Structures are given as C-alpha cells and as structure tokens.
Amino acid sequence: MKSTALILTLIFTAGIACSQTDTTIFRFVDEMPIFKDSIGLEAFHSYLNQNVDLSDIQENLISGKLIVQFCIDSNGYTTDIKIIKSLRDDFDNAVVNTIKNSPQWIPGKKNGIPVKMLYIMPMDFDFQ
C-alpha cells in the first residue's frame, strides 16, 4: 500500500483583502480570518489532510503540486475557489470540493469591519 502525504503551504497574499461592497483591495487587514477558532492555520491544514477525498483515484495517484486560490467572504464562507496551477482535473476537483465544503470561518476584519480575504495556497501531493 502506498504511503500518502499531503503537504500544505499557505501563502498569504500579503494580507490582500477586498470589502464585500467595494472593489477596493487592501494590502493588509487588522485581523486575519480564523478557521474553527484556531489561531494560525493548523486546523485548516488538518481539515484538508483529513477531507481531500482521493479514493476515486487511488489506482492512478501522481505526486506534484497544485495551487488553489480562494476567498473567505465577510460572512466567513469560502468563495471564488479557483485552481491557479493544475495537477490533474481529478485532484483539482477534490481540492475545490473540500474547500467549498469547508466549515464557516470567522472573517478577517479591516478597521473593525468584516472583509473578504484572498488566500493562495500551494498544495504538494507526495505518494512515495
């Protein structure tokens, strides 16, 4: 049986955020979004590791990197999920579905107001 490892690296896009009612893009926010009352993103990494479902492609696994972009909106929901660098359609779809079904976050804030925050996340799949 192959050993699987999903290595996640999260790149904050220098705190880029845009408000829900405005297209203004901020370089920094005062408060970052929080996943499941967790400081940092360890809980989100754990969520992805446990929930990215690759069971349909177990016979045809490949190692490599994909890059996904998504937003946490001002209500704490994941939106605007987009694959920036594809690994393969089935991997891409598994990641998009997992992020789409993510539990609600506590949204980031700028000047005390919840805002929409953009994340870019490289994901390394290693099946050696």
CATH classification at residue 91? 3.30.1150
Taking residues 86-98, what's their average pLDDT?
94
The band of 6, judged by pLDDT with boundaries at 50, 70 and 90, is: low
Q: How many domains does the chain have?
A: 1
The band of 1, judged by pLDDT with boundaries at 50, 70 and 90, is: very low
Residue 86 has pLDDT above 90, yes or no: yes
Taking residues 92-101, what's their average pLDDT?
96
The band of 82, judged by pLDDT with boundaries at 50, 70 and 90, is: very high
pTM of the model: 0.79
Distances (CA, A) of 30 to 16, 55, 113: 11, 40, 9
**pLDDT in the model for residue 10:** 45
Q: How far apart are CA 81 and CA 100, in angstroms?
A: 7
Domain extent, residue 74, equals 5-53+62-126
Residue 23 has pLDDT above 60, yes or no: no
Q: How far apart are CA 102 and CA 109, in angstroms?
A: 20
Nearest to 123 by CA among 104, 103, 106, 98: 98
